[in-house]
A = this chain, B = another copy of it.
Amino acid sequence: MSSEIDKILDGCINKVVLIKLKNHTTIRGNLQAFDQHMNLVLTEVEDITEKEVKNLNKIILRGDNILIVSPHEK
């Protein structure tokens, strides 16, 4: 990824990000690490696709499932 996109993901480290997946799932978690394939390590993950939030704790998410990553701002 370009250093520009790296920089933005770097700025999200230890912050909450919202992730929409290609399979229509939406998850929210605290970004711990990422690599050049957009594989992400997230903690305190919640699947918020439906009203009933499901806790997933810590995950490694394969980058090829991702549609968008969004810094979460309240």
Contact = CB atoms under 8 A, between A and B. Distances in A.
Interface residues of A, number: 35
Nearest to A72: B57
A67 B68 contact: no
Contacts of A44: none
B68 A61 contact: yes
B39 A58 contact: no
A64 B59 CA distance: 16
Contacts of A59: 68-70
Given A1-B37, A8-B33, A33-B4, A62 B63 contact: yes
Contacts of A34: 2, 4-5
Contact of A39 (B5, B32, B65): B5
